[in-house]
Structure 1
Amino acid sequence: MPGVSLAARPVLVVTHLDDVTADLVVAQLHDRAVPVVRLDPADCPDEMGMDAYLDGSGLTGTVTTSSRELRLDQVRAVYWRRPSPWRAAAGLEGESAEWALEQTRWGLGGVLASLPGALYVNHPWRIRDAEAKVAQLATAGACGFNVPATVITTDPAVAAKFIARHGPIVYKPLWNTPWTGPDGRARTVWVRHVEPGELDDTIGTCPHLLQAAVDKVADLRITAVGRQLIAVRIDGAAGLDWRENYDQLRYTQIDTPPQIAAAISAYLERFGLTYAAFDLGLDRHGAVWWYEANANGQWAFYDDPINDQIAQALAAVLEKGTISR
């Protein structure tokens, strides 16, 4: 901003208190002597206040925590990680609480998503757009990825025909909706194989995503930070989804195939993303197949030097406050 040097402008880190992944990036920024303000929007209004002003000259004002004051027009970059769910002010209940929560979401949330001149990694609205599985599949195909044959249907007969033509197939949830089992414990609905005999009228209760299974020999995870790609081959996964058991996995850094690098660049451009983690499958013929891309994907499960490379890449982009495509 005019009158304020880039070196004095902070990077804003938006996340919850115990975010280990964000900690690694914050440490890199501190090593670079880049000022950092970290906050969780869910702390507003009980532990955080805001005053935002808008007129013909743009957005100004402050967000104030118990220890810091953030000038809204001086943020160089925003690292939008995983803030806590929005919550209402203490003491509010029922419709009053819901009203206040939504005002905070669209008030403070709107302000933090509109910081003038700041680079977002990634912008929260772009993260939201890129989370939709159907949009991912359509965009991936348009960008040059190999996309397995997929159907999204509420018709058991259509599902049966799809299996007959493309089997074996897998089921994938369209959204990771919270699910609590009979024992009261939170459950995860993983990708899993579907046998023809499992198809029944329950398919009609909601859309189901069925996809031709990739005859994989390994998984690939390619982390994109701007133009930098950090590609890792993952071996040792016992099931369809390697995230079910991290203890079994082996990580090997590889070069990104040029055609995959080009597809990733096009995909980031389509969704307006600076960062994304791409999950792909490698089949026995050497072909690379699309699984999904996470615009806010985790990466701190790696060991060094992979972790360090990703943290350094993110810190470098945030420090610069801009990115060239």
Structure 2
Amino acid sequence: MRGHTVLVATEYEDATADLVIAELNRRRVPVLRFDPGRDLPAAVGLAARLGQDGWEGTLTVRDRTADLAEVRSLYHRRPSPYGPAAGVDQAARFTAGENRRGLGGVLAALPRCRYLSHPSSIARAEYKPAQLAVALDVGLLVPRTVITNDRLEAQAFTAARPTIYKPLHAGAYEVDGEPAGIWAGPVQAHQLDDTVGCCAHLFQARVDKVADIRAVVVGREVFCVRITAPPGVVDWRAEYKNLSYASVNCPPDMRRALLRFLDAFDLAYGAFDFAVTEDGAWWFLECNPNGQWAWLEAATALPLTRAIADLLERGEERR
């Protein structure tokens, strides 16, 4: 492939990545899309050599090849994890581990490459305890929170205030074989029993909100959308069909705090969720370092595809 290539690492079906790739194609920016966790070795050939200026060589995906030393940027969207299916033998597990540390390691150490965002930065920022601590440090409002597997601790916290339970990680979940989500929801002390001891749980003081805000930060650009759900809805993700959207300005102090948050994790992108109270205060709930955004662009016409394509096209400054 001629020119400085943009690598897009994501799963096979990713309509959000498709929007960005279409925009880069329109600009005639070379793009190589692949799913590293699934495509190696059947569809990927790696020939990486350590030179004086870092990793060089080639990455081939089917019939297309990119020069590793000339990769412009890597869009680390939602690639499949490296790993064999459950129950396979140790040789397959060893192979998966070598692929993650080999191909994944090279992709994470490309010279002069702009990352959106770096895989290790995304992984570090996915820990909610770290998010909440950084949010406080940069001056954001954060509801009182406890993380515990102690039933008595959880009961004492929930008895003292209206409380929300939310999972610490939005992993894959199914009900009767169908994909499902574990939404944030209210919990009371009498509902908690000894099963709390099975794992860590996050309990948080419920914010008496009138709306939500999703703030999407791309590089140094900030786009904010006010999300209004039906009365009484705690987690708007459970009511997609009944939401309304409006783009809103980001207050200057909030913008500075969001950029400081991303800088703390060395992220180039973040999708922040806030609960908004009647007095206009924004209460930090979480930041998804790889959160979805395409449906917001469709609802509000905010130029999110353009912003992401701009950053990927620009890449790092080259000497």
Task: Give TM class, smaller chain.
Answer: over 0.9
Asked if the contact 1:300/1:307 (under 8 Å) is kept, the reply is no
Q: Does 1:240 align with 2:243?
A: no
State the shift of 1:200 in Å.
1.7
Letter in 1 for 2:218: V
Aligned counterparts of 1:249 and 1:179: Cα–Cα separation in 2? 24
- The aligned counterpart of 1:118 is 113
Letter in 2 for 1:254: V
Asked if the contact 2:156/2:189 (under 8 Å) is kept, the reply is no
- The aligned counterpart of 1:208 is 201
Aligned counterparts of 1:45 and 1:306: Cα–Cα separation in 2? 41
SS for the counterpart of 1:245 is helix
State the shift of 1:303 in Å.
4.6
1:185-231 deviation per Cα after TM superposition (whole angstroms, max 9, x unaligned): 34321111001211222222222111000101000001001111110
Asked if the contact 2:297/2:303 (under 8 Å) is kept, the reply is no
Letter in 1 for 2:167: P
**Structure 1 gap ranges (5+):** 1-6
Q: Does 1:179 align with 2:173?
A: yes
Letter in 2 for 1:216: K
Aligned counterparts of 1:217 and 1:64: Cα–Cα separation in 2? 51
- The aligned counterpart of 2:281 is 287
Aligned length: 313
State the shift of 1:109 in Å.
0.6
Aligned counterparts of 2:3 and 2:116: Cα–Cα separation in 1? 19
TM-score normalized by the length of structure 1? 0.91
SS for the counterpart of 2:225 is strand
SS for the counterpart of 2:292 is coil
Q: Does 1:64 align with 2:60?
A: yes
SS for the counterpart of 2:296 is coil
**2:183 aligned residue (160, 185, 190):** 190
Letter in 2 for 1:112: L
- The aligned counterpart of 1:3 is none
- The aligned counterpart of 1:224 is 217
Q: 1:199 to 1:148 in 2, by over 3 A?
A: same
Aligned counterparts of 1:306 and 1:215: Cα–Cα separation in 2? 26
**2:270 aligned residue (268, 271, 276):** 276
Q: 1:212 to 1:308 in 2, by over 3 A?
A: closer
Letter in 2 for 1:278: F
Q: 1:304 to 1:156 in 2, by over 3 A?
A: closer
Q: Does 1:104 align with 2:99?
A: yes
Letter in 1 for 2:315: G
Q: Does 1:83 align with 2:79?
A: yes
SS for the counterpart of 2:42 is coil
Asked if the contact 2:132/2:142 (under 8 Å) is kept, the reply is yes
Residue range with higher mean Cα deviation, 229-238 or 253-262 = 229-238
TM-score normalized by the length of structure 2? 0.93
1:19-43 deviation per Cα after TM superposition (whole angstroms, max 9, x unaligned): 1101111111122221111111120
| Superposed CA RMSD | 1.9
Aligned counterparts of 2:100 and 2:182: Cα–Cα separation in 1? 28
- The aligned counterpart of 2:6 is 11
Tell me the percent identity. 43
SS for the counterpart of 1:260 is helix
State the shift of 1:245 in Å.
2.3
Aligned counterparts of 2:144 and 2:67: Cα–Cα separation in 1? 49
Letter in 1 for 2:184: V
**2:23 aligned residue (25, 28, 33):** 28
Letter in 2 for 1:229: V
